[in-house]
Amino acid sequence: MKKQVTLFTEYTKGVWDQNPVFKQVLGMCPALAVTVSAMNGIAMALATTFVLTFSSLIISLIRKVIPTQVRIASFILIIATFVTIVDLVMRAQFPALSKELGPYIPLIVVNCLILGRQEAFSSKNTPGRAVLDSLGMGTGFLIALGSLGGIREILGSRTFLGLQVMPNAFDPWLVMILPAGAFLSLGLMMGFLNHMNLRKKDREERELVARHLQEPKMSLEHGEEVKSWS
Amino acid sequence: MELILIFISAAIVNNFVLAYFLGICPFIGVSNKLSSAFPMGLATTFVMVITAIVTWLIYHMILVPYDVVYLQYVSFILVVASLVQFVEMFIKKVSQPLYRALGIFLPLITTNCAILGLALFIVLKEYSFVEAIFYGVGAGAGFTLAISLMAGIREELELANVPRPFQGAPITLIVAGLLALAFMGFAGMISV
């Protein structure tokens, strides 16, 4: 039996520690395809979060009824239903946005992030936890897509959320809004984040070693005290 | 002529992986070795062509006449999932060596967004039946080309000294970016 995790951690783990895009490398297709601007990225992430949360809720509610052999097919059907809802609502309420995202909204069905969460989490946990987990993963997805979209929009078309932020003297980097820019900027972002993580880990290791080296000396000087708090 | 243009457009100019970002998961996951990347490309092409045919028939023979177009995502994904299952059984029956060579890659094709993307694009671009088949073959050829190129590069990359933070996914993405840059050279060659 694994350690019981608090409800709060259930939410926060998806935001950073297991960020779907940066850490788990899931859901790459939409992450790369729609992040031409921050707005598109955010809209995509919200749509994905909606589908993820509601399908997780349903699947965790009926997780004991679904036979194991046909679980993948049932998951996909439930996901496809919610994707259809999102697509119809977006077409009715935000026609411009829906046109821009085009076939990538229906493609949420095959987003490995969603199916992955159902298989790994919702089908084994209670509805409350499944919803929290989905919201956390959705937030992580939102952070990733928003930042990637923001960077590409600022460098590629001088704007952020449609407002001009770079001076006119700044020549827009056309490559950023082209497909190649998506691969390059996500690759560089992941490399940078890995670098920060590795540095943090190295520092922690060094501190651990340093403390270890100091310990015997300390225990010699005031042995009683050390024992009491360690 | 028209058909050849559709083929070239899908295979090279608007490459599914490098221009539409479809099928990134296997593109990054299965492109370690050329010996597994190429069969994966071929299997995907095979499924793509059959998907193009079947979804075209379903869309024009069932969904449109009965006015239930809103069911297209649900029905397409069902078709893709059962097709992959069927292809898996078929290959197992016909050729054991090929089945063993493809192994776990076959079921993974279901969640390859390139397959569903192909079905959606065919509806979106209003292709005729024959055009849809050529589009499917072209898209599959493009996928095979991209994943094989990538695998070739990654085999060389194993010998290179990649900085620690960039090992794994980041360097793969950057290589894909450079490939996409190279493929941009074809842009504007055909406007379809």
What pLDDT, on the 0 to 100 scale, is given for residue A24? 77
pLDDT at A46: 92
Nearest chain A Cα to B162, which residue? A191
Q: Write the pLDDT tens digit of every residue in A177-226.
A: 888 888 888 889 888 888 888 888 888 888 888 887 876 555 445 444 44
> Once rounded to an integer, what is the mean pLDDT over residues A77-99?
89
What's the pLDDT tens digit per position in A110-147?
A: 887 888 888 888 888 888 888 988 999 999 999 989 88
Please provide the average confidence, as pLDDT, over all residues in chain B. 83
Q: Would the pTM of this model clear 0.90, i.e. be above it?
A: no
- CB spacing of A183 vs B23 below 8 angstroms: no
Task: From A108, A113, A110, select the one nearest A89 (Cα to Cα).
Answer: A108
Whole-number Å distance between alpha carbons of A226 and A48: 52
Which residues, in sequence order, are CB contacts of A90 under 8 Å at separation 6+? A47, A97, A98, A101, A105
> Shortest CB distance from A179 goes to which of B18, B23, B121?
B18
| pLDDT value for A223 | 47
Q: How does residue A4 score in pLDDT terms, banded at 50, 70 and 90?
A: low
ipTM given for this complex: 0.79
pLDDT of residue A217: 55
Per-residue three-class SS string for A72-122: HHHHHHHHHHHHHHHHHHHHHHCHHHHHHHHHHCHHHHHCHHHHHHHHHCH
More confident residue, A210 or B32: A210
* B58 pLDDT above the threshold of 60: yes
Which residues of A are less than 8 Å from B170 in CB distance? 187-188, 190-191, 194
pLDDT tens, position by position, A12-47: 877 877 888 887 777 777 888 888 888 888 999 999
Report the residue from B70, B124, B169 with minimal CB separation from A190. Answer: B169
Tokens for A41, please give them.
């990225």
- Over the stretch B122-169, which tens digit does the pLDDT of each residue have? 888 888 898 899 999 999 999 999 989 988 888 888 888 888 888 888
Residue B56, min C-alpha distance to chain A (Å): 16
Nearest to A103 among B24, B117, B163 (CB): B117
The SS3 assignment for B87 reads: helix
For range B58-70, the mean pLDDT: 86
Q: For residue A159, what is the enclosing H or E element? A: strand A159-160
Residue A51 to chain B, least CA–CA distance (Å)? 14
Domain ranges (residues) in chain A? 7-175, 192-229
Q: Which residues of B touch A32 (CB under 8 A)?
A: 21, 24
Instruction: Identify residue A41 by its one-letter amino acid code.
Output: G
Question: Could you state, in order of their start, the residue ranges of all structural domains in chain B?
Answer: 2-184
